[in-house]
Structure 1
Amino acid sequence: MSYVESAHDSVETITPESSASQRIADFIRQREEHDSSSREPRNSEFWQRINATTTSLWLDSGDIGSIDSLWCQQFSGVTTNNTLLNNEVQNGAYDELVPQISKLVGNIPDDVKVREIGFALNLCHALKLVQQFSCNVSVELHTDVAHDSEATMAYARRCHDLCPEFFIVKIPFTPSGLIAINQLRDEGIRVNCTLGFSARQNYVATALSRPSFVNVFLGRLNSYIADNHLGDGQGVGEKATLASQAEVSTFTRGLPTTDTQQIAASLRDASQLPKLAGVDVITIPTKVAKQAEQSLDQPWQSQLNHSPTVKLGDQIDPSTVRIEKLWDVSKSERNFVQKAILLPPASAVELKQMAADHQIEDLFPEMASEEKQAIAEDGKIPNHQRWQQRMARGDLAIDSLMTLAGLATFAKSQSELDQRIRKQLR
């Protein structure tokens, strides 16, 4: 089903209580316990000096070697995703496990078997990261389940059960994802609501689903504006991240049942780090972290009361971009949230309809098949010209478009990973 939403199809899964699920979990635990090589991390005066705010630092990578060269006491987490995992699997390191896991799952349909093996490889790698660095690890689920609440919950529970102390389950910002996150949080499962791009998306996620973490993929926002020649892109993602931090902090303040934290993600350059000081968490690609050690030498000062100035090009019609959607939360969106809190939607369909009733169709836009294909072909950064009429019309926005593009990119990586698994099963 890749990333394409369907109201009729459901994803077949192995239940958390099944014997096959238990066999897979036991296999992963035994393997990683045997391979454990954790050690006491060094202290880094550089990162200690550079991080004078309350910001937590994570590394955004699945490459154990790259992480190991940087790892120190000042880092507390690692984030992975389908693309990063695919990079690790494609080097052949896990090929030998495919037939072993295949025997554990037994005689099940091929698509389900491939998904199960991919899930197991994901957990093997994530648990290896835990064993190596004794830190929080955000683990992404298969893209097939992005639009299926029940399947998302089934896999999330299995992920959590394997390593409740350190695993954080990554679930994308989709209507089905939000429904699943709300239930999982009731069960005490930590969730990272991923592929967020705006303050309004993260306000909605925090208020309705209470994830442990929300994200702004800020580097992609800067690239969207710059690559589409809408402006220089400077400060766009940073402004969205700081605005989102303010919305999340304001909503969670004084609410014991909500402990959501903001993550600044998708950094492209070390110079962005000081501009995000004070954000709850910054997850840093290893390349950017290395660059920071070479180029940054001053302590950070909190930027939480700062809002970068962002300008579009003089020739750009603002109504075809509506860039303010990235950092403003409208009255309609706040009313939608209040209604959803009072009358919680029971399904993704109800949630989407409730948004439409409040005239915010652009939060969860309807996309035709050919439009989904165009998004997939464009990659991480969509072609703005394709979508500017819909943005001007008000039934699509940059943040929702970027979420769909992110899902499509992860689905492509997941497909490549699945293909490698199929080769090992022949």
Structure 2
Amino acid sequence: MTETPTAALSSAGVSIWLDDLSRSRINSGDLQRLIAERNVVGVTTNPTIFAGALANGESYAEQVAVLSAEGVDASRAVFEITTDDVAAASKIFSSIYESSDGYDGRVSIEVEPGLAHDATGTVVQAQELWAKVGQPNAMIKIPATEAGLVAITEVIALGISVNVTLIFSLERYRAVINAFLTGLERARTAGHDLSTIHSVASFFVSRVDAEIDKRLAAVGTKEALALRSKAGIANAQLAYQVFEQAFDSERARGLLAAGARKQRPLWASTGVKDPSLPDTLYVTGLVAAGVVNTMPEKTLEATFDHGVVTGDTVTRAYDEANAVLDAVDATGVSYTEVTELLEKEGVEKFVVSWNELLETVDTALRAAR
């Protein structure tokens, strides 16, 4: 049999994770199908995903009725519902987790977005989520805000696996890696088994293009327009270079020798925003060994159907990637301004989704009463 594109992607060293989760997907067997037929080896979630699942999910009615009878508020109900889904999905992936020695089979759940600038609150809730899910292959998602960096170190130091989210700039990515390594150093001092602590760093891709392309179009010159839809991939390619350099440092090598695992880059926001672009652009354009690509189902199916995997498309592109970002800067479009805006907007969008989720659940609880 000819190897499918998703199988080829896996063979090239890319772990395919699904950027979606719902109880109906779990109960119907669809998640198991994607594991068997689409090479999916993990799942990521966020407040937007759960807001959509709860808004359209009859499969939650029974649990909502029970929670309503118990008199819990919407916030507690969301905690119970989402952690139950993540625990159930984690059990489905347990065999992959075990066979890959913890490398894959991961399911992520995010702290409340309202805690993005509250390091102490993030650490407290990360522990609550970790304990409630109760599965070793879970990951707690923490945004890479300034406060998030502090929390990442503290949570890693506690021996909890972390998915760092909302990374847009290379500078912030370096700070994320430093927070991870500092956390490992503290975990080692505390006597934790470093081999059990896993982390990924979610570097967002298509949102970078969406914002930079808008600004390039406003500049309107031939040179600016020729750069559209190139910055997102270039930025991610250079992130991989940062990853390679950081984990080849003396500091990192010492921790790896003590049993630690590398914090893998994860490509997030890999669904194209511009319909004129190839729908597999942020998959086939970012193939490198040891990365994760978390895809919405539409992107996953497009990749399976017609993705062309040609091997590594990252490590030989560093010079070209640097040239792209330099050229963008030369047009007057500020990389720093864009990435700072995207972090701010990313947090705000998740807060909106979280509030929609609370409203949906609150309405359901009141209806059940």
Which amino acid in the other structure matches residue 157 of structure 2? D
Name the structure 2 match of 1:390: none
User: Contact 1:55–1:277 at 8 Å: present in 2 too?
Assistant: yes
Kindly tell me: are residues 185 and 105 of structure 1, through their superposed partners in 2, closer, same or farther at Cα, counting changes over 3 Å? farther
Which amino acid in the other structure matches residue 145 of structure 2? T
Asked if 1:123 corresponds to 2:89, the answer is: no
Alpha-carbon offset, residue 249 of structure 1:
2.6
RMSD: 2.8
Name the structure 1 match of 2:67: 101
How many residues are treated as equivalent by the alignment? 305
Separation of aligned partners in 1, 2:6 and 2:355 = 37
- Structure-to-structure mapping, 1:70-149, within 5 angstroms: 70-72=34-36, 74-92=39-57, 93-101=59-67, 113-134=73-94, 135-149=105-119
Q: Percent identity?
A: 22
User: Contact 2:67–2:365 at 8 Å: present in 1 too?
Assistant: no
Which amino acid in the other structure matches residue 48 of structure 2? T
Which amino acid in the other structure matches residue 119 of structure 1? F
**Is the deviation greater in 191-200 or in 271-280?**
271-280
- Structure-to-structure mapping, 1:190-229, within 5 angstroms: 190-210=161-181, 212-228=199-215, 229=217
User: Contact 1:58–1:78 at 8 Å: present in 2 too?
Assistant: yes
TM-score by length of 2: 0.74
Alpha-carbon offset, residue 70 of structure 1:
3.0
User: Contact 1:252–1:258 at 8 Å: present in 2 too?
Assistant: no
Name the structure 2 match of 1:296: 307
Residue in structure 2 matching 1:272, options 279, 282, 285: 282
Larger % of helix: which? 2
Alpha-carbon offset, residue 116 of structure 1:
2.1
Residue in structure 2 matching 1:181, options 143, 148, 152: 152
Separation of aligned partners in 1, 2:200 and 2:347 = 18
Q: Which runs of 4 or more aligned residues in structure 1 lie more than 6 Å from their structure 2 counterparts after TM superposition?
A: none
Q: Which has the higher contact order (CA 8 A, sep 6+)?
A: 2
Alpha-carbon offset, residue 417 of structure 1:
0.7
User: Contact 2:5–2:303 at 8 Å: present in 1 too?
Assistant: no
Alpha-carbon offset, residue 89 of structure 1:
0.6
Q: Deviations over 1:49-88 (max 9, x none)?
A: 3443222221111242664553238322111111011110
User: Contact 2:212–2:338 at 8 Å: present in 1 too?
Assistant: no
Residue in structure 1 matching 2:247, options 218, 228, 252: 252
Alpha-carbon offset, residue 195 of structure 1:
0.5
User: Where does structure 2 lack aligned partners over 5 or more consecutive residues?
Assistant: 95-104, 182-197, 219-224, 273-278
Alpha-carbon offset, residue 138 of structure 1:
1.0
Kindly tell me: are residues 218 and 164 of structure 1, through their superposed partners in 2, closer, same or farther at Cα, counting changes over 3 Å? same
Which amino acid in the other structure matches residue 266 of structure 1? S
Which amino acid in the other structure matches residue 129 of structure 1? A
**Is the deviation greater in 240-249 or in 92-101?**
92-101
Asked if 1:262 corresponds to 2:265, the answer is: yes
Alpha-carbon offset, residue 120 of structure 1:
1.6
- Structure-to-structure mapping, 1:367-386, within 5 angstroms: none
Q: Deviations over 1:355-380 (max 9, x none)?
A: xxxxxxxxxxxxxxxxxxxxxxxxxx
User: Contact 1:198–1:241 at 8 Å: present in 2 too?
Assistant: no
Alpha-carbon offset, residue 287 of structure 1:
0.7
Name the structure 1 match of 2:19: 60
User: Contact 2:6–2:303 at 8 Å: present in 1 too?
Assistant: no
